């Protein structure tokens, strides 16, 4: 069953109105100063994305980065609340966000949603994956799914986020595509991808669901085996089959992008869009994306609004089935 949650991968933005922004040439660093607001701690997906984007902006002379604020708490809700309630403090701020912004609003973890802040641009699509210890008897998704069907209570799967969040949702999509009753799943929530991975390597769970990038170091060290990824096509430089190629109709990605404070002027939002889209066309950014196995997902304006609205609808439907 198709999830309906398919991210459009764009090498560039082709919207005519946006292309007109480039007629004046690249934005100079001295013209823009930006502060990044990060809803999680250092080293996580949000943090890595913000700092990688910030570094690329400075290296390509698109902006001067004034700093990175890691404002943790409430699963990212503290930073969101700060942006909503104190827009003047964050007047030159870009907050990094991702799919959990939609999920946590739908499940009531956040009291605000994406419509309460100002969307600027999505930048990347980070795919999910299922991994097992290198010594596991599971060689592919077929053997993993077969065991999950036979005795789901025995196949405990860990994820680096809470119940009804990104990793749990990914497991639910795999189960749904396999004809497994969602209520029979045993999901073990951990505080971050590292804890979930450690839990698996300690033998406490049979598998882990996580972002591809978070699994790469352990895979490179030979400690784990990645069974499948949720991309539509194989990821460049990664010798791992997709879920689709193994008979599971699951194509799902965790988009990451940037928002600014509510009430931001059209001029400021347009400037940020131009800055981010222009930077995304550089070789510096292409190299940075490749390092993290991120796919391009550059959406702005009406395209971005429509994308977020569809995510809200599609994710709401699967979350209702998981509850």
Token digits of residue 177: 């595509």
Task: Return the exposure string of 10-37: e unless at least 16 CB atoms fall within 10 Å of the residue's CB, then b.
Answer: beebeeeebeebeeeeebebeebebbbb
Distance, in Å, from the CA atom of 140 to the CA atom of 130, rounded to the nearest integer, reads 10
Query: 237 pLDDT band (50/70/90 cuts)?
Result: confident
Contact 69, 36 (CB under 8 A): yes
Q: Mind listing the pLDDT tens digit for each residue in 129-165?
A: 999 999 999 999 999 999 999 998 899 999 987 788 8
Distance, in Å, from the CA atom of 156 to the CA atom of 205, rounded to the nearest integer, reads 5
Q: Mind listing the pLDDT tens digit for each residue in 24-56?
A: 445 455 579 999 999 988 877 888 899 999 999
64: Cα separation from own chain's centroid: 25
Query: 7 pLDDT band (50/70/90 cuts)?
Result: very low
The β-bridge partners of 260 are 118
Domains and CATH numbers, the chain: 16-125+253-322 (3.40.190.150), 127-246 (3.40.190.10)
222 vs 39, 158, 249, 291, CA distance in Å? 32, 19, 28, 19
Query: 321 pLDDT band (50/70/90 cuts)?
Result: confident
Task: Output the pLDDT for position 6.
Answer: 40
Q: What is the average per-residue pLDDT within 282-311?
A: 94
Q: What is the average per-residue pLDDT within 189-200?
A: 85
Over 60: is that where the pLDDT of 3 sits?
no
């Amino acid at each position: 069953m198709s999830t309906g949650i398919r991210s459009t991968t764009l090498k560039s933005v082709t919207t005519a109105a946006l292309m007109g922004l480039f007629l004046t040439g690249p934005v100079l660093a001295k013209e823009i100063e930006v502060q990044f607001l990060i809803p999680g701690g250092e080293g996580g997906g949000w943090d890595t994305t913000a700092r990688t984007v910030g570094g690329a902006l400075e290296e390509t002379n698109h902006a001067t980065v004034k700093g990175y604020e890691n404002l943790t708490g409430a699963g990212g809700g503290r930073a969101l609340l700060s942006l909503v309630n104190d827009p003047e403090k964050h007047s030159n701020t870009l907050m990094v966000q991702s799919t959990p912004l939609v999920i946590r609003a739908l499940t009531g973890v956040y009291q605000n949603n994406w419509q309460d802040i100002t969307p600027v641009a999505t930048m990347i699509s980070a795919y999910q994956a299922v991994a097992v210890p290198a010594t596991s008897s599971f060689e592919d998704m077929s053997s993993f799914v077969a065991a999950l069907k036979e005795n789901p209570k025995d196949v405990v799967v860990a994820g680096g986020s809470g119940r009804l969040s990104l990793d749990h949702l990914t497991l639910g999509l795999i189960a749904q595509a396999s004809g497994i009753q969602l209520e029979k799943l045993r999901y073990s929530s951990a505080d971050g991808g590292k804890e979930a991975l450690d839990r698996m390597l300690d033998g406490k769970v049979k598998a882990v669901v996580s972002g591809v990038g978070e699994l790469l170091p352990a895979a490179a060290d030979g400690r784990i085996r990645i069974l499948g990824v949720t991309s539509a096509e194989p990821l460049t430089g990664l010798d791992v089959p997709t879920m689709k190629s193994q008979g599971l109709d699951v194509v799902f990605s965790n988009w990451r992008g940037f928002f600014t404070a509510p009430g931001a002027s059209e001029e400021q939002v347009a400037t940020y869009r131009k800055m981010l889209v222009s930077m995304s066309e550089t070789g510096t950014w292409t190299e940075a994306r490749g390092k993290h196995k991120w796919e391009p997902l550059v959406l702005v304006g009406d395209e971005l609004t429509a994308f977020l609205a569809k995510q809200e609808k599609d994710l709401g439907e699967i979350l209702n089935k998981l509850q």
